[in-house]
Amino acid sequence: MAATFETPVMTRSTATPDTPTPLPRHLAVLVLLCMGCAFAGNHVAARAAFDDGAGVLLAILLRSGGTLLVLAAMVLWQRQSLRLPPGAWRWQLTLGLLIGAQSLCLYSAVARVPVALALLVGNVFPILLALLTWALGGPRPTARTAALMGMILVGLVFVLEVPARLSSGQEVGPQWLLGVGLAFCAACVFACALWITDHKLSQVRGSVRSLLTIFVVFSSVNLAGLTGALPGGFDLPASSTGWFALATLVVLYGTGFIVLFISVPRLDMPRNAPVMNIEPLATLLIGWLVLDQMLNPGQVMGGAIVVTGIVLLTYRKVERIKAPVAETAN
């Protein structure tokens, strides 16, 4: 996640002349590591809640609602204007709907397949974003970028156990296929959301963009639940275990979002954001500890390849952005 799966509208904020002094790099990295683990724990807690009967829409509603309250209070306290540039409202609404759809797809995937598997498939969005940007008139991916994309796809082949399934003739269950498909849909939608953020809403203050996006997510989830668009979406947990899991995901997601919201100007995100790609690996560890979910050695190897490729792809993009700035300074 240079932007992560959870923070598309926040880490890509517009720079301002009065940017605060960055934290020392070791502190910035520590904050981002903790936030990556918090977001990973949010998905594991969501799976625990779903296993206890909680509906997917209920989890998204509680998560977005809690974050919305805190975020709105902070924006009001800072007396920030919610006025958007001409023509930006339709893109802001589209962004919110896309993030809502991404949340729904990812949580639905988490409910069906191991959490780490869902996150690894979902984290291929940098490839999709690069291809989308190229298709819409942006720069063509370089040979090195294409090689890194190939590296990520090779890792994904092992994560999905394609060689083992082909050699053994093992049948794939419908829930597994649906879960993997939903995770990939989440990646596709997220890539579209990031493109809109970069190309249509880059002049909107990051905090305002975050608040409006979360508001659209909260409103659309309410509408989907009240109209019965997703049967069982608002089902309640069957026991206190499910309620505790829901409370945990609200705290973890809300804490991660708000801490990033407050500290992102001081985290030197262009330089340090690749650290947050720890999320899939943290999900693997937490999923094993809490849910007894464990990928086999081949999947772990594939996951390491995927994460390495994403970090390198993100880091190279950052270096390309920073180079012209350095030349101008000199």
DSSP 75-94: HHHTT------TTHHHHHHH
When pLDDT is cut at 50, 70 and 90, the band that residue 271 belongs to is confident
DSSP character at residue 23: P
How many angstroms separate the Cα of 188 from the Cα of each of 10, 56, 99, 105? 19, 20, 11, 10
Percent of the chain with pLDDT over 70: 86
Q: What is the mean pLDDT of residues 108-117?
A: 94
Q: Using CA atoms, how far apart are residues 3 and 193, in angstroms rounded to an integer? A: 11
Structure tokens at 152: 């990520």
Question: What are the CA-CA distances from residue 204 to residues 12, 13, 22, 273 (Å)?
Answer: 10, 8, 22, 21
Residue 270 has pLDDT above 70, yes or no: no
Name residue 146's amino acid: A
Instruction: For the chain, give every domain's residue range.
Output: 25-329
Helix, strand, coil abundance in the chain, percent, nearest 5 = 75, 0, 25
pTM for the whole thing?
0.85
The per-residue pLDDT for range 155-174, each reduced to its tens digit, is 888 888 877 776 666 677 88
Give 8's pLDDT tier (boundaries 50, 70, 90): very low
Q: Is the model's pLDDT at 15 over the cut of 70?
A: no
Residue 275 has pLDDT above 80, yes or no: no
Model confidence pLDDT, tens digit, residues 19-51: 568 888 888 888 888 988 999 999 999 999 999
Asked whether the predicted pLDDT for residue 317 surpasses 60, the reply is no
Separation between Cα atoms, residue 194 and residue 190, nearest integer Å: 6
Q: Is the pLDDT of residue 5 over 80?
A: no
d(CA 181, CA 121): 9
CA neighbor of 97 nearest in space, from 177, 268, 215: 215
Average pLDDT along the chain? 85
Tokens of 207: 């905090």
Contact assessment for residue 119 and residue 228, using Cβ atoms and an 8 Å cutoff? no
**Lowest mean pLDDT segment, chosen from 37-41, 198-202, 273-277, 319-323:** 319-323
- Classify 262 as helix, strand or coil: helix
Q: How far is CA 42 from the centre of its chain?
A: 11
